[in-house]
Amino acid sequence: MDGALIMIQVLNGLQLGVLLFLLAAGLTLVFGIMDFINLAHGAFYMLGAFICATLALWLDSFLLAVLLAVPITFGIGVVVELGIARQLYQADHLEQILATFGLILIADTLVQMIWGPEGLTFALPEILNGQVRLFRDVDFPVYRILIISVGLLVALALYLVVSHTRIGMLIRAGASNRRMVEALGVDIRMLFTLVFAAGAAMAGLAGLMIAPITEASIGMGNEILIVAFVVIVIGGIGSVQGAFFGAILVGLIDTLGRSFLDDLLGLFLSHQAAETSAPAISAMLIYILMAVILTFRPKGLFGPRTS
């Protein structure tokens, strides 16, 4: 367990963290502002990946595919909000869960009908496929550094928008007291559409960034969405900062747990026992973390203060 390996694993954790953040940011805003539980949020992640992969294969350019796929997922977000999600805001949570679960099934089946069950993959441009030397003996894939940079930039942009613009002020106001914002005469429906679609675009961005690593596959969004829910519960529902720190925390704990837990357990367990129990325990770590945080901060790390 040397310094270089720890450094690489921290970077890997950071990369998972920013992906989770992109997914969780939309989820937490939609849940916080519209009080809408969107289980189908992962569908945008999947669609982003499939659309980008298709465009990349057609246009033979990853950059162009990304630049087109993000607005397309934004557009799909607008359509879904206007056509479906809007009808569900007044419904109670159970009905929202049922309806959005149905949306997951529809989205998965649509993708299977359009692209087939085998998933899509595409080649990265040569320049992104290599390694870069960060320090003496720390090599790291260029593409993963790109993911971290893009994720951090989006996080910064989102922070600036939410805390320093008028629309951000409305978003924050909506998250803490929706009724009051409506009463003040703000066109809340417009705001909802915008937030929903922006969340969809960010989820799509996360999906298309992971696609060259794991490939676009059916149900990929549902797998990661569970973790994204853990992130927003840890971070505090409705809080973008909470989503950011929650995501980085979960990304690091998950990655470092997978990397070092067997060595750590090996210190006081037999080699055999450490080897078999480590994968199981590291899969549980983030849920243990969530339970611990909820015990001390029931509303999450950055949850809205109750007054």
Partner 1 sequence: MIKNLICGAFALLVCALPGTSLAESVKIGFVTTLTTGAAVIGNDMRDAVNLAVENLNGKMGDLDIEVIFADDGFKPETGKQVTDKLVKSDDVDFVAGYIWSHVLLASQKSVLNADKFLVSANAGPSQLAGKLCHRDFFSTSWQNDQTPMAMGAVLSQRGVSKLYVMAPNYAAGKNMVAGVERTFEGEIVGKDLTKWGKDAQLDFSAELAKAKASGAEALFVFYPGKAGGAFMKQYEQAGLADKLPLYTVFTVDAISLPKLQQANMKAVLGSLTTGFWGPGLKTPQNARFVEGFLNKYGRYPSFYAAQSYDSIFLINSAVEAVGGDLQDRDGMRAAMEKADFPSVRGSFSYGANHFPIQNFYLLEVVADRDGNWTTEIRSTVFENHQDTYVADCRL
Please list the residues that pair with 120 across neighbouring strands. 216
Q: Residue 139 Cβ, how far from partner 1 at the closest point, in Å?
A: 6
Contacts with partner 1: how many residues (CB under 8 A)? 46
Which tokens is 44 given? 């945008």
Q: Which stretch binds partner 1 (CB under 8 A): 67-75, 155-163, 212-220, 292-300?
A: 212-220
CA distance 28 to 234: 11
Position 280 contacts partner 1 (CB under 8 A): yes
CB of residue 95 to partner 1, shortest distance in Å: 25
Q: Please state, as a whole number, how many other Cβ atoms lie within 10 Å of the Cβ of residue 79.
A: 14
Draw the binding track, 219-258, toward partner 1 (x: CB under 8 A; -: no contact): xx-xx--x----------------------------xx-x
Q: Which stretch binds partner 1 (CB under 8 A): 7-15, 67-75, 79-87, 180-188?
A: 7-15
112 near partner 1 (CB under 8 A): yes
Q: 201, 218, 243, 265: which one contacts partner 1 (CB under 8 A)?
A: 218
Binding segment for partner 1 (CB under 8 A), chosen from 26-34, 126-134, 173-181, 286-294, is: 126-134
Contact status: 73 vs partner 1 (CB under 8 A): no
8, 55, 237, 293: which one binds partner 1 (CB under 8 A): 8
124 binds partner 1 (CB under 8 A): yes
Which window, 27-35, 70-78, 110-118, 164-172, contacts partner 1 (CB under 8 A)?
A: 110-118
Cβ density class 110-122: b for 16+ within 10 Å, e for less: ebeeebeeebbeb
- Interface with partner 1 includes 9 (CB under 8 A)? yes
Contact footprint for partner 1 (CB under 8 A): 2, 4-5, 8-9, 12-13, 15-16, 57, 112, 117-119, 121-124, 129-131, 139, 141, 143-144, 210, 212-215, 217-220, 222-223, 226, 255-256, 258-259, 275-276, 279-280, 283
